[in-house]
Amino acid sequence: MWFILTASYQPIPFVARTGLYVLDVKMAHPGLAVSHVKHVYGDTACNCGHVTQSKPGRCPATANWDVEMSEWRLVGPMLASLIIYLSLRMRLSRPRIQEFLHNWLGIYLSVGVINQTITEGGRASEPVEEELIAEIQQADLAHAAKYPQNSINSPRHLDGLIPLCVPCEELSLT
């Protein structure tokens, strides 16, 4: 049994009901270090008899997404960012991401956990997408360098766009 101290330094008993470990990566010198944190959820009863339960946060379900967003997950935020980066930017498949995490960080995650992490990251960033598109469309371009077309059928690329509000890597016009 654990105790929580109140403002008057009176111990209140805390009864642990459930918990989970969260794996994450953090910057170390040199490279990355793997950390794990144990989150414990339980009950706290005050003198009047009221019981307060701690639970992980959960978002309500939506019709467009099959994945649930909650704090009840194995993958921490920095590790989730690394997994999403490896998938979207480096174009690694789920088994290749699994191999990378196992070989370089000593973490073994199933392909299902990796897929759920990527999908949950997409759901978390969905509200931002429309806002970013609107910002890019309304932004005044400070500089745009247009490169010549290599052939008639290839798209023109505007590289080096520097909008005033939103960072953007590349814009492709067809």
* 133 in Cβ contact with 49 (< 8 Å): no
Greatest Cα pair distance, the chain, in angstroms, is 79
The pLDDT tens digits of the residues spanning 66-104 come to 778 888 889 999 999 999 999 999 999 999 999 999 999
At residue 163, does pLDDT exceed 90?
Answer: no
At residue 30, does pLDDT exceed 80?
Answer: yes
* 69 in Cβ contact with 120 (< 8 Å): yes
Share of the chain above pLDDT 90, in %: 36
Which has more pLDDT, 75 or 7? 75
The length of the chain in residues reads 174
Share of the chain above pLDDT 70, in %: 74
Q: How confident is the model at residue 42 (pLDDT cuts 50, 70, 90)?
A: very high
pLDDT of residue 55: 87
pLDDT of residue 6: 57
At residue 158, does pLDDT exceed 50?
Answer: no
**Residue ranges per domain, the chain?**
2-55+70-138, 140-174
pLDDT of residue 111: 96
At residue 59, does pLDDT exceed 90?
Answer: no
Amino acid, single-letter form, for residue 165: C
Mean pLDDT of the chain: 78
Amino acid, single-letter form, for residue 35: S
Tokens at 133, concatenated: 């598109």
- Nearest-angstrom CA–CA distance, 162 and 144: 7
Q: How confident is the model at residue 107 (pLDDT cuts 50, 70, 90)?
A: very high
pLDDT of residue 159: 43
Tokens at 31, concatenated: 């490279």
